[in-house]
Amino acid sequence: MPLLKTEKISESKIWGIWKLSEPMEEIFSMVHSESEDEGHLEIAHPNKKMEWAGTRVLTKELCREMNWGYPGISKDEFGKPYFNDWSLGISVSHKFPYVIVMLDKFQDVGIDIEPVNDKILKIGHKFMNEVEIKWAFSPLEITIVWAAKEALYKLHGRRKVLFKDQLFVEFLEGDERSGKLIGWIVDDGTMQYELVYQMDVDDMLIVYSI
């Protein structure tokens, strides 16, 4: 299992990234199917199947590293993953062949992984508000906004959230490699979160809540 990196943020929070390079059969052989949902049975694309299995194997490895039990993962009606015994907060993201998972013992978390390329310049206006457009110009900056909103969306855990009108991101500090953001979710009140961004393995952008 080519586990590229784990980062223990605190005694209660950890994330890790895995590059899926093994054959599908090998990845599935590492999944304890009796403790998992059967979501993979509804997935047709082989890469998506590998992401499903990779998420569970990586989560199990992170639990082992933190000396936590692993009861398996299911998804709620909105597609948000949860531990079958509700013992940990969990967030997952994948951009094949990468799978990333974040766990927290006491609170919900949000994490996202994205490549950075020029294509995002054409769609930034669809998810950025006027304030964000004033500071996010480059492909990296616009991708940071997108990834941060993805992380906020996963924290919220509900569908039908408008990225442009209900999720807001403000730059706090940092450079091209790492930094901090503040994010807000506006939906029946306002929830505020601190986020970290960093360019990591293979120059993939990772944004997560702290």
User: What share of the chain has pLDDT > 70, as a percent?
Assistant: 94
Query: DSSP labels for 111-180?
Result: EEEE---GGGGGTHHHH--HHHHHH--SHHHHHHHHHHHHHHHHHH--S---HHHHEEEEEEEE-SSEEE
Token code pair at residue 37: 């949902």
- pLDDT by residue (tens digit) across 59-71? 999 999 999 999 8
DSSP reduced 3-state for 108? coil
Q: Which two tokens stand for residue 17?
A: 């990234």
Per residue in 163-184, pLDDT tens? 999 999 999 999 999 999 999 9
Specify the range with the lowest mean pLDDT, choosing from 17-31, 104-118, 185-199: 17-31
Check whether 208 has a pLDDT greater than 70: yes
Q: How confident is the model at residue 39 (pLDDT cuts 50, 70, 90)?
A: low
Summarize the confidence of residues 26-43 as an average pLDDT: 72
pLDDT number for residue 191: 93
Amino acid 38: pLDDT:
65
List the chain domain ranges: 3-109, 113-209
| Whether the predicted pLDDT of 114 surpasses 60 | yes
pLDDT beyond 80 at 41: no
Q: Which tokens belong to 192?
A: 């505020």
Q: How many CB atoms lie within 10 A of CB 99?
A: 27
Average pLDDT, the chain: 91
pLDDT the model gives residue 43 = 75
The reported pLDDT for the residue numbered 93 is: 97
- CA–CA distances in Å: residue 91 to residues 52, 57, 74, 109, 144: 13, 14, 12, 6, 18
More confident residue, 38 or 109: 109
The mean-pLDDT minimum among 55-64, 75-84, 110-119 falls in: 75-84
Q: Inform me whether the pLDDT recorded for 29 exceeds 90.
A: no
Superfamily of domain 3-109: 4'-phosphopantetheinyl transferase domain (3.90.470.20)
